[in-house]
Structure 1
Amino acid sequence: MTMSPAPPAGPARTNGHVSHWYAADGLPAPRPALDGDLDVDVALVGGGYTALWTAYYLKKAEPALRIAVLEKEFAGFGASGRNGGWLTAALPGQFRRYAAAHGRPAAVAMQRAMFATVDEVVAVAAEEGIEADVRKDGELHVAVGAVQEQRMLAHLPELREEGWGEEDMLRLGPGELADRVRVAGARGALWTPHCARIHPARLVRGLAATVERLGVTVHEGTEVLDIRPGAAVCRGGTVSARHVLRATEGFTAGLRGQRRTWVPMNSSMIVTAPLDRAVRDEIGWHGAEVLGDGAHAYCYAQRTADDRIAIGGRGVPYRFGSHVDSRGETHTSTQRQLAELLGRLFPAAAGAPIDHAWSGVLGVPRDWCATVQYDPATGLGAAGGYVGHGVATANLAGRTLRDLVLGRDTELTRLPWVGRKVRGWEPEPLRWLGIRGLYVAYRAADRRESGGLGRTSLIAHAADLLGGR
């Protein structure tokens, strides 16, 4: 007798409250807010990975520099403490744009720099004693069904052109994939070693503590109202600095004059309660590989160090006017969609209790490409627009900003994302209609493909063109 799959679990026990990653250790004790004017050499606006890595590398290079990090909430409040825990070298969709603007060798150099960045983060975490559940078992892109398999096979030669060698990307057949993890309906996968699973909040907390030990001042509860040459104007005072670097990622639209620079796009996650041994054995996911699928509205997942499955994807992708819900609450329908997806990929986990649901925002430029910018004449700089791949990319940005601020001409400062500028997003309501329509189209394409279409849906091709992806 064939048993019916278990129904999806009910709503999460906890919704919002930043993220599950803070549940075990609690929120960090607040650091002092800025209280009066301050004079430093470098002011960093934002308290996530980008700002903290930049502060770390600047202080290591020039210990005498006076550096202040200015954060509206607390260090790690944004995407740095809410992401899926993928320390990945992937630059999805960006290679072609970098190559078109600067040539293939420059784009390949960018990809190779990302490979090295994964190892850099792992090494620094070990050197500085940052305990963040770091485990480098690689990344699996799983093809679920025939159409995703077609796309996977078509993509492999493209990856070779982009600088991924045989040692960087391995094709796995269904049996080889099942030896690592059993995914229902999987036709195979691409595996790369250039990825590590991390605990996001522990990484950002450890990094914040590290830069403080080095002498960096971190001001929390400090809202920056305006950025101008030589100053960051805050609610509690003005910070004068020769170098003012913006590292606000998904919260950039809230700054004066930045409404259309990068849109804050939402991503949502759920995490199960710890799975019992029978379920774990049925799934067979005993390593720490992170896992994503080949859908247009793709998912991302990890098996946590305490045997949960954390899985995420797009819920409500964008709020009108670039507004942000900083509480991170996730709509019940999005929780249900993610729980259903969990059950489709891992039937043994269907019905598993959902401990926590949360959401966060990531910064998306109009061309979907990350950038690092610095103007030596004004001392103003910025980095971000990581399009959901900022855990590793923020480290590369921090090292690049270090070299730009210090006036160095290095391989990093010659990478094709340095100085990249694109037009802003369309005004409302075109922005809202376009982004919401994009993800409606992707979900429709996924439904048609899973329903037996037999090829990539034309809807998805049209959405890619209209979205500029």
Structure 2
Amino acid sequence: MTDRGDDVDVLKALAEAAPEPFWLLDPARPVAGPALAGAVTCDLAVVGGGYSGLWTALRAKERDPSLDVVVLEAGRVGDAASGRNGGFCAASLTHGLENGLARWPDDMHTLERLGWDNLRAIADTLTRYGIDAEWEPTGEMSVATEEWQLPGLEDAAENAYEHGWEPILLGPDAVRAEVASPTFLAGLWDRDAAAMLHPAKLAWGLADACRSLGVRVFEHTRVTGLRSDGAALRLTAAHGSVTARRVALGTGPYPSLLRRMRSFVVPVYDYVLVTEPLTPQQRESVGWQHRQGLGDNANQFHYFRLTADDRILWGGYDAVYHYGSGLHPTLERRPSTYATLARHFFATFPQLEGVRFSNAWGGAVDTCSRFCPFFGTAYDGRLAYAAGYTGLGVGATRFGADVMLDLLHVGLAPGEETERTRLKMVRSKPVPFPPEPLRYGVIELTRREIARADRNAGRRGPWLRTLDRLGIGFSS
């Protein structure tokens, strides 16, 4: 996107933005739970108190209520990616239909059906456990902001129809009638493919649901060691240990306890702005009566949506990797990216000049080279893992939890396969990232070439075409 918002005083708009995730400042945030102290035993230990871990614990108890399940979270429940994302809960398990078709065309009808079933099951879970996650099943709309993006929307519509979805293809007048922006040239709105929600409330609600079923959730408990202990696995932390018959790892972008996973995942920082609540006049000026989530169709894309109190959340575009797979709280703040995002915001919504941003933050995404999760086991099948959601894990982590439990044979006979574990997506791995310093060089080159493609009417240069042939991807 060109910086058509350059004449707006973005520093003034950002001057009072709190450098904290909007969602995590919600008054509904619960107090922290206890940390692990002493030695405990259990049937299933889950490492990670975000969506991946919480869904795994909850689904395990739903499959077999007799299981003794423990969750170990290094910080607080939902503090990492699960409390920092945009709150788009998508049906897609493959980071979009096009990405899945490029990798597993023979399985896509099954994957799309499983994705829809998964989204519906999430809604059912919220109802069953009384979780108020501000669920809005409004769908998602992709918008073209440059002429070269129009054929891509048409192709996406055709593929969606062939796989059972019924999106609406909108021309310039129709898309602007939905959401008023002079930059929108067309839109593809799928009313069933996604829901908007409050991401932190989802995590907090899942934790409460787990506790209601007897799961022990330990916060401020960083697991520092993993080893075999006879027929069990032993996890060690600063002030205690857990001995478990089976272990599930759901640690997202953070270094895995399983060394073999580390070449497959890199932490990439994504950044987000949230405005102050819009006035009735400002709200009317943008339309947006159907409250769908939006994303533009560039390679360096933005995603944006309304919150329950009529703020606009605006994120994406920059995807920043730090040398050595750097992870540190200081990297969550990036004023230069905030300024870029603000300029793009006002270019998209010039009628909102004068609106201030209340929050600006960042967070790490567990990125893999195929954009969507991968799975596996270790320790003779006693440990399972899922990672690499690449920014689309709000919904897909529930599916990933079921895959891990299938691989661990929770509620299944020994050696029993399921429809999920027979999928090529589950049986294959992404291309690993090279070691440093080559890793940093490859990722930075790819980022520059993606930006170049957006400036060059979407035309991908030799480097990106080579990555496409190898089945490797990287985007914002």
- TM-score with structure 1 setting the length: 0.90
Q: Using a 3 Å threshold, how does the CA distance of structure 1 residues 108 and 376 change in structure 2: closer, same or farther? A: farther
Which whole-Å deviations, capped at 9, do the CAs of 1:206-235 have from their partners, x for residues lacking one?
111110111001111111113334122222
State how far apart, in whole Å, the 2-side matches of 1:306 and 1:386 are: 28
Moved more, 110-119 or 230-239: 230-239
Mapping 1:106-185, distance limit 5 Å: 106-160=107-161, 163=163, 165=164, 167-185=165-183
Q: Which amino acid aligns with 1:20?
A: F
Which whole-Å deviations, capped at 9, do the CAs of 1:298-329 have from their partners, x for residues lacking one?
11111111010001114351111111123663
State how far apart, in whole Å, the 2-side matches of 1:380 and 1:138 are: 36
State how far apart, in whole Å, the 2-side matches of 1:98 and 1:457 are: 20
Mapping 1:55-454, distance limit 5 Å: 55-91=57-93, 104-160=105-161, 163=163, 165=164, 167-192=165-190, 193-229=192-228, 230-252=233-255, 258-315=261-318, 317-326=320-329, 329-374=332-377, 377-405=380-408, 406=410, 407=412, 408-449=416-457
Cα deviation, residue 346, structure 1: 1.3
Q: Using a 3 Å threshold, how does the CA distance of structure 1 residues 206 and 276 change in structure 2: closer, same or farther? A: same
Contact kept, 8 Å, 1:47 with 1:75, in 2: the verdict is: yes
Cα deviation, residue 381, structure 1: 0.3
Q: Secondary structure at the match of 1:132?
A: coil
Which whole-Å deviations, capped at 9, do the CAs of 1:165-210 have from their partners, x for residues lacking one?
3x43221222222232112221111111211000000110111111
Moved more, 359-368 or 81-90: 359-368
Cα deviation, residue 123, structure 1: 1.5
Cα deviation, residue 354, structure 1: 0.8
Contact kept, 8 Å, 2:449 with 2:461, in 1: the verdict is: no
Cα deviation, residue 397, structure 1: 1.2
Q: Which amino acid aligns with 2:83?
A: G
State how far apart, in whole Å, the 2-side matches of 1:328 and 1:81 are: 16
Find the counterpart in structure 2 of residue 452 from structure 1: none
State how far apart, in whole Å, the 2-side matches of 1:94 and 1:178 are: 24
State how far apart, in whole Å, the 2-side matches of 1:305 and 1:154 are: 33
Q: Which amino acid aligns with 1:468?
A: I
Find the counterpart in structure 1 of residue 49 from structure 2: 47
Q: Which amino acid aligns with 1:154?
A: D
Q: Using a 3 Å threshold, how does the CA distance of structure 1 residues 426 and 241 change in structure 2: closer, same or farther? A: same
State how far apart, in whole Å, the 2-side matches of 1:228 and 1:168 are: 49
Which whole-Å deviations, capped at 9, do the CAs of 1:117-160 have from their partners, x for residues lacking one?
11111121122111111010100000112111132223333444
Cα deviation, residue 375, structure 1: 5.1
Contact kept, 8 Å, 2:181 with 2:349, in 1: the verdict is: yes
State how far apart, in whole Å, the 1-side matches of 2:60 and 2:256 are: 26
State how far apart, in whole Å, the 2-side matches of 1:213 and 1:25 are: 22
Contact kept, 8 Å, 1:16 with 1:327, in 2: the verdict is: no
Q: Which amino acid aligns with 2:189?
A: W
Q: Which amino acid aligns with 1:439?
A: R
Q: Secondary structure at the match of 2:351?
A: helix
State how far apart, in whole Å, the 2-side matches of 1:119 and 1:218 are: 26
Contact kept, 8 Å, 1:343 with 1:351, in 2: the verdict is: no
Contact kept, 8 Å, 1:41 with 1:67, in 2: the verdict is: yes
State how far apart, in whole Å, the 2-side matches of 1:362 and 1:4 are: 29
Q: Which amino acid aligns with 1:121?
A: I
State how far apart, in whole Å, the 2-side matches of 1:62 and 1:4 are: 57
State how far apart, in whole Å, the 1-side matches of 2:245 and 2:372 are: 28
Structure 1 residue runs of 5 or longer lacking an equivalent are 450-454
Q: Secondary structure at the match of 1:77?
A: coil
Cα deviation, residue 60, structure 1: 1.3
Aligned identity (percent) is 31
Which whole-Å deviations, capped at 9, do the CAs of 1:403-461 have from their partners, x for residues lacking one?
33323533233233323324431111111122122222222332343xxxxx6354784
State how far apart, in whole Å, the 2-side matches of 1:287 and 1:99 are: 29
State how far apart, in whole Å, the 2-side matches of 1:460 and 1:428 are: 19
Q: Which amino acid aligns with 1:138?
A: G
Which whole-Å deviations, capped at 9, do the CAs of 1:257-279 have from their partners, x for residues lacking one?
64423101111100000111211
Contact kept, 8 Å, 1:132 with 1:200, in 2: the verdict is: yes
Moved more, 73-82 or 422-431: 422-431
State how far apart, in whole Å, the 2-side matches of 1:335 and 1:57 are: 38
State how far apart, in whole Å, the 1-side matches of 2:333 and 2:133 are: 25
Q: Using a 3 Å threshold, how does the CA distance of structure 1 residues 30 and 116 change in structure 2: closer, same or farther? A: same
Q: Secondary structure at the match of 1:232?
A: strand
Q: Secondary structure at the match of 2:332?
A: coil
State how far apart, in whole Å, the 1-side matches of 2:141 and 2:99 are: 24
Q: Using a 3 Å threshold, how does the CA distance of structure 1 residues 74 and 328 change in structure 2: closer, same or farther? A: farther
Cα deviation, residue 395, structure 1: 1.0
